């Protein structure tokens, strides 16, 4: 499988050679149209050169992220819906030379009603020795490849079924402590994370225990630069904790990501292959239930502002290995600037126990305020 990845980039490079004549012809047509209606040029140089420097402040970095949607689904009573999916307020700052704090407040729609939620709020150390980092508070657990990413920042409109069926509608988000360590192995990036959390309120696999039992999450991230333009990541996840029966559930996960992004033209071209699988072992009074789920996606950047993604989902339910939900979905992303994107998503779902259904969503995501971090 890995060798397949090695062969891919060269093919992509050929496929990606810009067809400059076609681009230029279409551009030329639009240009001629513009020029016809064009009279006097306005030859002013951009922006004056003034000398006022901005005054720094001690306010935290503040940003507001909005996710506004309109959607159609073929199943259920109400087939069309539209409105605000989520407004997120992010506040981040260094506290002192020793730690930083991140707070994310979420106002999310639940069937049209906007509900306030503390999405994340944690303190992170900045000066522990031996490349250790400690995080405490409420945070997204370090699970797989996408659990750490807020839904509006994901390149697709709906979460993979394996995430919603095993971890929760927006993944696993719990309260407690997280300790991570950059393993000094000298040759490649390796990060080991161990988390102890109280147990989530809402999750299909895990619950808050009535007694003293807690949820344990472990993750090992391995990352290699294959070349200047391509990278490869392997991750292992294990979660163990109480389930809603008061017994124990265990999830084991495996994620694999290949990314090609040419350094010189990284604004124009990229290609990603990513897959994750989870195996669930759930204890019940009548014995152990084993179930699994997975997704695999390919994402291809068509042009500077256009991203096309296709994904396949397959998932059981933690308490029903015969549930067998399947889905194929595609998202076309139009990335206007770093601060705004419009995404068009379509999805077909089917399974032995569920009716085949279709859904389509258009969403606009915007960011105002502090410049966010780029993702890799």
Partner 1 sequence: MIYDFSRVLAIVVLSVSFASSVRAQNKLNVVTTLPDLESIVYSVGGDLVEVTSIATGYQNPHFVDPKPSFIMRLTRADMFVTVGLDLETGWVPSLLNSARNPDITPGSEGYVDTSINIPLLDVPSSVSREQGDIHVFGNPHYWLDPENGKIMAETIRDALVRLQPESATLFDSNLESFLTQIDIKIEEWNAEMKPYKGQRLIAYHNQWPYLEAAFGVIAIDFLEPKPGIPPTPSQLAKIISLMKQESLSTIIIAPYFRTDSADLVARNVSGNVVILAASVGAFSEIKTYFDLFDYNIARLKEAFDSPGS
In whole angstroms, the minimum distance from the beta carbon of 54 to partner 1 comes to: 6
Q: Is position 341 an interface residue for partner 1 (rule: CB under 8 A)?
A: no
Q: Is position 95 an interface residue for partner 1 (rule: CB under 8 A)?
A: no
Q: Is position 135 an interface residue for partner 1 (rule: CB under 8 A)?
A: no
Q: Is position 228 an interface residue for partner 1 (rule: CB under 8 A)?
A: yes
Closest C-alpha among 360, 363, 334 to residue 347: 360
Q: Which 8-state DSSP code applies to residue 90?
A: E
Q: Is position 27 an interface residue for partner 1 (rule: CB under 8 A)?
A: yes
What residues from 37 to 56 belong to the interface with partner 1 (CB under 8 A)? 38, 40-54
In whole angstroms, the minimum distance from the beta carbon of 295 to partner 1 comes to: 22
In whole angstroms, the minimum distance from the beta carbon of 21 to partner 1 comes to: 10
SS3 label, residue 183 = coil
Nearer to partner 1, 59 or 375 (CB): 375
> Any residues with CB less than 8 A from the CB of 217 and at least 6 apart, and which?
141, 142, 143, 172, 193, 194, 195, 197, 237, 238, 239
End-to-end, the C-alpha distance of the chain in Å comes to: 22
In whole angstroms, the minimum distance from the beta carbon of 5 to partner 1 comes to: 17
Q: Is position 374 an interface residue for partner 1 (rule: CB under 8 A)?
A: yes
Greatest C-alpha distance within the chain: 83
Q: Is position 304 an interface residue for partner 1 (rule: CB under 8 A)?
A: yes
d(CA 222, CA 191): 7
Q: Which long-range contacts (CB under 8 A, 24 or more apart) does 224-230 make?
A: 224/188, 224/189, 226/5, 226/6, 227/9, 228/263, 229/9, 229/260, 229/261, 229/262, 229/263, 230/5, 230/9, 230/258, 230/259, 230/260, 230/261
Among 263, 285, 286, 355, binds partner 1 (CB under 8 A): 263
In whole angstroms, the minimum distance from the beta carbon of 1 to partner 1 comes to: 21
Size of the site for partner 1 (CB under 8 A): 65
List, in sequence order, every residue forming a beta bridge with 218; answer none if it has no partner.
194, 238
Among 298, 305, 308, 360, binds partner 1 (CB under 8 A): 305
Q: Give the binding range for partner 1 (CB under 8 A) out of 75-83, 125-133, 237-245, 247-255.
A: 125-133
Closest C-alpha among 239, 256, 152 to residue 203: 239
Residues that bind partner 1 (CB under 8 A): 18, 20, 23-24, 27-28, 30-31, 33-35, 38, 40-54, 97, 100, 124, 126-128, 131-133, 182, 188-189, 191, 221, 223-225, 228, 231, 261, 263-268, 304-305, 337-339, 368, 371-376
């Amino acid at each position: 499988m890995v060798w397949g990845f090695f062969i891919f980039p060269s093919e992509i490079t050929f496929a990606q050679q810009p067809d400059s004549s076609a681009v230029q012809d279409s551009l030329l047509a639009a240009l001629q149209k513009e020029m016809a209606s064009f009279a006097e040029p306005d030859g002013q140089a951009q922006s004056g050169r003034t000398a006022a420097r901005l005054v720094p402040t001690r306010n935290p970095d503040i940003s507001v992220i909005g996710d506004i949607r309109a959607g159609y689904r073929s199943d259920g009573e109400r087939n069309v819906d539209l409105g605000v999916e989520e407004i997120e307020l992010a506040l981040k700052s260094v506290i002192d030379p020793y730690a930083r704090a991140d707070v994310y407040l979420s106002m999310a729609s639940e069937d049209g009603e906007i509900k306030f939620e503390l999405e994340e709020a944690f303190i992170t150390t900045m000066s522990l020795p031996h490349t250790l980092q400690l995080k405490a508070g409420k945070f997204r657990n370090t699970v797989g490849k996408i659990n750490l990413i807020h839904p509006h920042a994901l390149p697709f409109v709906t979460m993979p079924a394996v995430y919603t069926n095993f971890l929760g509608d927006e993944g696993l988000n719990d309260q407690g402590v997280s300790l991570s360590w950059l393993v000094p192995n000298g040759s490649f990036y390796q990060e080991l994370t161990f988390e102890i959390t109280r147990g989530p309120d809402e999750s299909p696999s895990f619950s808050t225990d009535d007694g003293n039992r807690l949820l344990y999450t472990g993750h090992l991230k391995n990352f290699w630069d294959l070349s200047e333009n391509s990278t490869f990541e392997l991750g292992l996840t294990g979660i163990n904790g109480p389930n809603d029966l008061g017994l124990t559930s265990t999830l084991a996960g495996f994620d694999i990501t290949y990314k090609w992004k040419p350094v010189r033209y990284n604004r124009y071209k990229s290609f990603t292959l990513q897959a994750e699988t989870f195996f669930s072992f759930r204890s019940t009074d009548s014995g152990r239930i084993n179930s699994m789920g997975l997704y695999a996606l390919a994402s291809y950047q068509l042009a500077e502002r256009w991203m096309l993604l296709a994904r396949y989902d397959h998932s059981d339910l933690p308490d029903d290995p015969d549930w067998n939900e399947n889905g194929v979905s595609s998202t076309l992303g139009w990335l206007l600037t770093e601060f705004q994107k419009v995404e068009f998503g379509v999805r077909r779902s089917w399974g032995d126990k569920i009716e085949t259904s279709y859904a389509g969503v258009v969403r606009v995501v915007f960011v105002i305020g502090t410049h966010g971090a780029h993702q890799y």
